[in-house]
Amino acid sequence: MAITRYQFRNPSIAPWRELEDVSSRLARFFEDSSMRGGDGPGNWAPSVNVAETKESLVLTAELPGMREEDVSIELENNILTISGEKMEERAEGEDERRYHVWERSYGSFRRSFTLPRTVKADEITARFDNGVLTIDLPKAAEAKGRKIEISKA
């Protein structure tokens, strides 16, 4: 998934947008049902926000119930990859437990983002606090923009 700016969509294609919405909801339904089946580790993806400031891009990922050591961040060929595994919490003797509602997701995840060339890869930093991973992606000077003075002829 490339980090790109939001683009306004033409309202004349609204019927196609509705089809996309239905399609994505169906896909999520089948993905969610496979995660809740209990037949092994489910695939899940943490929710992510990407915000832009004058100085940097800031990626935040929600990783509730995870610890810093459960998460890995890698950068290769301008592709930032966040991966990890959220383990199900079970105590000894709970094998007989029956679930009536199973909404929490467990298992491994992997999210990859293509970074713009204007990110200073060697200055990327990350911090983990209260289940939220924050990755700061500083912009190169040419991406920050500048004011150009008009010279008098």
| 53 touches 43 (CB < 8 A) | no
In sequence order, the 6+-apart residues with CB closer than 8 A to the CB of 59 are: 3, 48, 49, 50, 80, 113, 134, 135, 137
Judged against a pLDDT cut of 70, whether residue 104 lies above it is answered with yes
Strands 79-86 and 107-114: antiparallel
SS3 label, residue 144: helix
% residues pLDDT > 90 (the chain): 43
Mean pLDDT of 81-91: 84
What is the C-alpha separation between 133 and 67, in angstroms, rounded? 10
The pLDDT of residue 35 is: 40
In this prediction, residue 9 has a pLDDT band, given cuts at 50, 70 and 90, of: low
In this prediction, residue 88 has a pLDDT band, given cuts at 50, 70 and 90, of: confident
Q: Which amino acid, residue 30?
A: F
The pLDDT of residue 38 is: 37
Judged against a pLDDT cut of 80, whether residue 23 lies above it is answered with no
Which pTM was predicted? Answer: 0.65
Q: Taking the CB of residue 145, how many other CB atoms lie within 10 A of it?
A: 9
Judged against a pLDDT cut of 80, whether residue 95 lies above it is answered with no
| Mean pLDDT of the residues in the chain | 78
Q: Which residue has the tokens 């060339």?
A: 117
Mean pLDDT of 60-79: 94
Judged against a pLDDT cut of 50, whether residue 29 lies above it is answered with yes
